[in-house]
Amino acid sequence: MSGRRVVVFPSVAELGPSLAQLVSSRAEKALSTGGSFSLGLSGGSLVSILGKELPAVPSLDCSKWLIGFCDERLVPFSDPESTYGLYKAFNTGEIPVFDMLLLGMGPDGHTCSLFPDHPLLQRVTMTLPTVNAAQCVVFVSTGGSKAPVLKQVLEGGEGPALPAALVAPRQGELFWLVDEPAAASLTSQMERPGPGAKL
């Protein structure tokens, strides 16, 4: 891993455009070597941020993007909502290497559908070998309800490590994009970029 970056924004309004810029810059980098840009998306609050900010990126060309889902509710492969078809592109028998994964974190420290001490019954999810093989992993975590768990995940605490704390890409980048309410209890090193700064 090339170092974790915890980046704090005043609010989601400032975080959103920076997230879109980060996605677009990593897409440009992946596409500059030919081929495609493989992007893993999570659900939850991330969906509305991306839905608002990605279409606002000037001349964004997604035609060579390969989109996968970091987790999903369990439906049959024949269901039109199934993500299986998208993952078939990675049918190499080896762990897929995503160019970028966008992750959320629940208040219990779960990420993807990796819950602490919980059997995976009705979810399908990426697991840590795939998450930690990615080239770039970006957590987006906002709101005061995330403050206690964010502190535990980033700065440690009692008991076993929560799933989100086990995300550490072996060779890739790791970003935590958070807003001030979520960062309220943090004391470790953080960046506070000025308006329009590129990540």
Ligand X SMILES: O=C1O[C@H](COP(=O)(O)O)[C@@H](O)[C@H](O)[C@H]1O
Q: Are strands 100-103 and 136-141 parallel, antiparallel or unpaired?
A: parallel
- Is there binding between residue 71 and ligand X (CB under 6 A)? yes
Site string for ligand X, 18-37 (x = CB under 6 A): --------------------
Indicate the angle between helix axes 12-31 and 46-53, nearest 10 degrees.
Answer: 70
**Smaller CB distance to ligand X: residue 133 or 149?**
149
**Smaller CB distance to ligand X: residue 16 or 104?**
104
Tell me phi and psi for residue 31, to 5 degrees: -75, -20
Instruction: Give CA–CA dist 131/144, Å, rounded.
Output: 26
- Closest approach of ligand X to the CB of residue 33, in Å: 29
- Is there binding between residue 83 and ligand X (CB under 6 A)? no
Tell me phi and psi for residue 101, to 5 degrees: -120, 130
**Smaller CB distance to ligand X: residue 45 or 127?**
45
144 and 131 in contact (C-beta within 8 Å)?
no
Binder to ligand X among 113, 130, 132, 152 (CB under 6 A)? 113
Q: Binding residues for ligand X, per CB under 6 A?
A: 42-46, 71, 103-106, 113
